[in-house]
Structure 1
């Protein structure tokens, strides 16, 4: 038999001993001490003996402790569910904003294309009017010359006619002989003139408008150029990269960044080459810190290109044909430049930057690739392959991505994208998941293509970060020495990304 002290100690350690006392509604003087498993409710001692005498009951404190553990687990699960749903809500808001941003971008594209058509129509109208003025002036000049000749002939004829009438009226013999002689000469010249006049009057000239297409064809071509809007579904995937930082460059809403280069200096930054309208060689260039503060506006203009060694330690950059920026502590970085010559071929120029004080740039070698007008290019780590984004040549309207090899000069492969509409803007060799790939930014589809380059053949693998709300019309991409990707989107948004799991 337990002692009173042991009973008191047990009561003190019981879970219900620390809980607030609750009394039975039926037996108001009795405390709830038990838990009926069948009825799922707390009962007092009297209820246990009466209404619940055949039911299984447990000690209320033990039941409460058991339920508290379960509720704690449920609380954790509920919090996880709340967090997941909150993230989903934020993602949906971001997706909604991305749709609005894309809508604005597509609307701007439609208006821009319409403006291009109007500007082209205005230009062609002026050319046609100039041609009309030129042709009409030529015809009018010919007619004026012929008219002057005929008016002169008419005056001569009227003069001869008057002389003839006067001679006949006077009946003077000598005058008659003289005028008859002049009439014979005039008759001969008139016959010659009649031939010329006959030839001239039988041929007439008129300015006529010639065109090759019917109205339906013109309207269809205009409709094709403006494009049509459709809903495209993109299958979202687990992100391979995450955004580290993001900032805006330029002061205009329609800024286009067409080239980036990371500066591995102290402090590190990113060179941005951008402009407001069409791609030009004299676009402005500025150096931004990695958190988006403008540090320097370069006096040089043009494209920004870079080359990274396989060791991943060296970065060089160029802002003009004669200007190379680099870090003095780096070891012999190499810079490549791709220049178009007058023959339509691209001359690849390689420069070695010696780490001396002051820095010296030494021309190493140059070779020729049969590349037409290009927008962007990159060199792989072996320095044997060049990926080039070539500008379209009429009647093509889409850019093309081609792979060139140092030896040979001709393209060894041309990229075939999975979509019919494809507008590449930049290329970047990259190591993703242990595999060497080529990243291709696609303005038309808001995508970054991951392209396999093994065997010297360009083959689509997948999209990088498909469906991400920040991926709107990418225009430029590069990689820094820390394997982070720097991406520029239409409107001047600069985004730094790093592989997921790199931290």
Structure 2
């Protein structure tokens, strides 16, 4: 059972003890080399103790007062003495079954004889104060003759009393842990209530805002309808006037036409001024009936992209200082004997990771291929198939919890070749290779050269833009949420140069700073916490980084070097 547990949880020659949760070194030879923990076996035996058991060894079957944990046999006092004198069983462990003290409670103690390494036939029975070690009688009268020594049983008794006092003091801390656990549970319940309350408040405010907008819209629509009704009535009236004027004009034209065609010369000459005046009146009437037109437009007081957030409200957060983080180097190795930089790391579990080093065509396996502008899918080994072919050079790649591929792309193969006017962005792909969207080329935010990308546990998208020298955090839809430029960090020797980045299960963001030989630690909102690794930790030129499923931090640097760190939250 222990071997299976260590196989599943062990890492880098160590594992977490299932009893005390302490970090434990696996001995050479594996789990089989561990000493048997007889205390666990004794504790189990005590819980199943039955009184008046008989000796399993002697023929008299006297009442047993001990049990051998190696032999699994109950023994009477005489058999116990004989058992511990025999060469084959002298180092066995016996537990007392009903040793009584002044209280009515039963006491159980594992009894074993430990022999001197220098004198294998002699039992350790004394304790040398000067040498701080247990010794046998022969050692006492020879090499420790002039040293002060005490009876081992008395030393053990005093030590037990001291340890019991310490244990009682330690037990006093258990209620504190229980209270802290209860406090964590209460905090979680409070967070659930806070979340529900805020969601309810936001929905209520949204409903009120919707109602207000609907009411305002209804008022404006009513005003538009009113203006429309007034204008349509005016149009109908004007139309009638035009119709009447048109009929009158037609009659006048007909009469004038008859007079011109059939009138006598004398009548034409005598009435010429009257006929001319009638023609002019007709023209004037037509010009006077032109319809004045209303101009009706909506004049927004604010743009929809602008101050609607101010009208709705914003979410404020007050978080206590970040927990302290302890980081410990666990392993360091080189993936190649060259000066190539480790460009990317992808943990695959069981303490293993795929690592890319260098930039030569054909050496890249886990990344999307930059030269061929392709995204590849692994089939469990180094056998790959093409998912999609891109129009730009793919760089970083990440997979969302919705199985959407996010790919950083650039018009130039290297970020050093970036030019003004390049439209570098992040593309969205389905796992079957269909492009579903893009972002990063809008007026709200334009990438210069997005190099690496990671998806945080919040669903936010984190991107290292090495040319703009910043890390940006985007919402799921790609809109900009926050950015980190390194200016918040004091003590940087050079300008911030983000390369790789990774997010852990708590939402922390780890960013490699190639120019300053450092790893920046940010919270999930992009706020700087501290430099978690620097050149003092012998981290030089960090480029790639990753967090595996067990929380270990992998850092790839120049000289094809990879370091693995254990991250502990205190």
TM-score, normalised on structure 1?
Answer: 0.38
TM-score, normalised on structure 2?
Answer: 0.34
Structure with more relative contact order (C-alpha pairs < 8 Å, separation 6 or more) = 1
